[in-house]
A and B are shown apart, each in its own frame.
Chain A
Amino acid sequence: MQQRGGKLIVFSLAALIGAGLLFAMVTWFLWAKSIRIEEARVADLAKMLGQRTEHVIVDARDLLDGFNRFSAPACSPAHIEAMQEAAVARPYIRAIGYWRATNRICGVGFIQAIELKPSRADRIYDSGVIAWWPGPQTEVGGVRLFLMRYGNHDIAIDPRMLLEIGSAQQWRAGLWVENMPMASTPWNSDLPSPDALPVGLTVDRENGQVISRFSLGTVFPIDIVAIEPIGSFWQRYASMLTIAVAIGLAILSIWIYIVFRYSRHRLSLATELKEALDSGRVQAHYQPIVNLASGKCVGAEALARWVREDGEIVGPEVFIPVAEEAGLVPRITLAVLTATLRDLGRLMRQHGDIYININLAPEDLTSEAFGEELARRSKSAGVGPEMIKLEITERAVVDSDESRKIISEFRDRGHQIVIDDFGTGYSSLSYLETFEIDALKIDKSFVDAINRNAVTSHVIGHVIELAKSLELATVAEGIGTHQQVKWLREQGVELGQGYLFSRPLTADEFRRYFEAQPDSNVRAIVSPLAKQFAC
């Protein structure tokens, strides 16, 4: 139980860690992708805004240069008209003026009486262009303007237009030109200076926002800082992250399913088998062995059956490999012995001539433990050794002095030794002479071939002859037809088992089967009907 619990924990941990890793990987990947996409999106936007700003500034300077070279006299109708046209054509221009020193002589504008004289310029360029960044001194009607003067002309620019991006964005954004704040949206937003920010996207979880900073520097250094609530960032990438979660959960489920199946089939089958052995749920079924001549049941082969908790019966072909892997084979042999003595002890005591064959695995022949158990238990059950025959496979007896010694001890105690599945294992027959054995079981594959395959039929004939010459009894396995019975009997095979007589039976069924047959002393005439082979 402890071992099982430990393994379960290990498997659960493996499942959780594996699933968690996969989930984290998918989530991380999509999160990183979202960040990249967002970065690219904001970078594009920043680039667009930066280029627009640059264009506006360069355009304003060119306009001013043009007016400085204007051929018509200053403030003549032609001059005014030219300024008017330029201002109307550009939505960001609020006013154009012609100045003499500190006096605005004439001009055009959407803002009345614009005669701003900010005390200090932010930039005086080598070209003679002088500029005032938006500030309290350039504020007109609640809007802080960007002023640019060159020669005798100036232009007032509404910087809000520089950040205008059409669709309503849930973000706060700021535009810096030459490291000085030019515009922000909404107006007067409190934004961190770009110098303090890394280029690209920063996720500020503390304040629940995504901060982006992008810089351009062709004519002027331009920086864009945008702050977006993390919520709208999530919103934009929600579908993507939902997919991530879905994929993650799917992977999780598949992973857990795989782990569960694996543990059920591999790990827990062994532990379950062990538990079944502990709680006596490994039982025996009995395949009757019949005298082919009389049709009388002379005994049975005990076969291990595992009755699982849900009532499902598992055959040895499934659990023997598991048991071999887990080293549980001797325990299964013991369980069969225990079941046999418990189920049929009374029957065997009543009918002295009945015997039960018990299959021994090679592992049972490596120590004397089983022999001692067998002696002790059969003695306490009042069952004589002649009533328990031991079936061993060819491979269990080959080239093993230890096995040979143990088998010899069994015989000394009075047990008969039967070689199981004879003819399917090793071609060397030397052990037939070196081992002391009593009977051969002819494998089902030979029996099946009777009258069907000439070559195999030929082989079975030799096997039978061999057994006769060694004075060994023969038992045919897997008999399914009367034809086979007839042939075998003609060949002198005395005993047989198979579905023709009976499938393996439970203890109760076997007792009823055995007791329902005619008096064991009466030798019934063999009937071609299967029922009359009543054991």
Chain B
Amino acid sequence: MDMASIALMAASAAAKISAQGPVARFLIVLACLVSLSGCESLELIAAKIANRSETQSAPRPAATASTDAPSQSLEPRVAVLNPDDFRQASGRHLQALIRSSVAPLALDEVGFYMDVQNAQLVQILHPTRIDIGYEGDLIILTMPGGDSFEHNSTRLKDAAIESLNLTSRILLEYSQTRITIHGHTDDSGEATYNQLLSVRRALSVANHLITAGIASERIAVVGFGESRPLAFNAAAADHARNRRIELYLEPIAR
């Protein structure tokens, strides 16, 4: 189940990057297969995608991947947002979520809701290495890359799993929170490959949250690859900082 969904997401991400068409279809199928078999030859796939991109230089799709992804048969569904159109895509996702929500927050409750949610996150994540930022009505949880994933892997480390379990306990209680998972990498390797890797890692986190019981509708993922570094990629420490997963928590309020 886990691997299947991850493969699906990887595939859809690949589809988004490369031009649509028979090649893309092939790649998606290949990615799915490879993913299911254990991700050993991801570099190979990425290289192929890169080659295609170079030769074809086709325009990228603007629509959210989720609607385009051939994922009819696979549950749960997680929205994968296009990083180039992130702001609009994210907005559309949130609006759709509010429309479909059974009990969105009243606007005058937002402050209280976010305050207490933040306080409980602060309390529960205090022992972990997750960094919490809180400003306005946005909480940003940053999982440091070095601690979360093995090198070049989408598999979560035990410590990261523990942190996510704690986080999901609060997110389960605060059901009117939309979770956008941002994946970032450092700049070693090909950009396209890094983009794919960041999406896959974000999906890995999303998957974990869904497993913990959080409704998949509340979750969106986006992979920014190496495009939004926190630090200039000079030293190993900078690389570690830049490799990261960020959880953007926003109120679902009318």
> B-contacting residues of A (Cβ < 8 Å)?
99-102, 117-121, 124-130, 149-152
Contact = CB atoms under 8 A, between A and B. Distances in A.
B109 interface: yes
Interface in B102-143: 105, 108-113, 115-124, 126, 134
7 tightest Cβ-Cβ pairs between the two chains A and B: A128-B123, A119-B111, A130-B119, A117-B112, A121-B115, A128-B122, A120-B111
A127 B111 contact: no
A121 B111 CA distance: 8
Interface in B147-202: 173-176
A128 B124 contact: yes
Contacts of B126: 126-128
Given A119-B108, A151-B120, A151-B123, A130 B174 contact: no
Contact of A99 (B109, B116, B118): B116
A150 B108 contact: no
Contacts of B113: 101-102
Contact of A102 (B116, B121, B122, B124): B116
A120 B115 contact: yes
A130 B173 contact: no
A126 B105 CA distance: 26
Contacts of B119: 121, 124, 128-130, 149-150
A127 B112 CA distance: 18
A150 B121 CA distance: 11
A120 B113 CA distance: 9
B253 to A, nearest CB: 11
B111 A126 contact: no
B115 A101 contact: no
A125 B118 CA distance: 10
Given A101-B175, A120-B115, A128 B109 contact: no
Given A126-B126, A127-B122, 7 more contacts: A99-B116, A102-B112, A119-B111, A128-B120, A128-B122, A149-B119, A151-B120
A101 B169 CA distance: 11
Interface in B208-232: none
A151 B126 CA distance: 12
Given A101-B173, A101-B175, A124 B109 contact: no
Contacts of B117: 101
A124 to B, nearest CB: 5
Nearest to A103: B173
Contacts of B120: 128, 151-152
A125 B108 CA distance: 23
A124 B122 CA distance: 9
B123 A119 contact: no
Given A130-B115, A150-B123, A101 B174 contact: yes
Nearest to B134: A124
A57 to B, nearest CB: 16
B122 A117 contact: no
B108 A100 contact: no
A63 to B, nearest CB: 15
Nearest to A129: B119
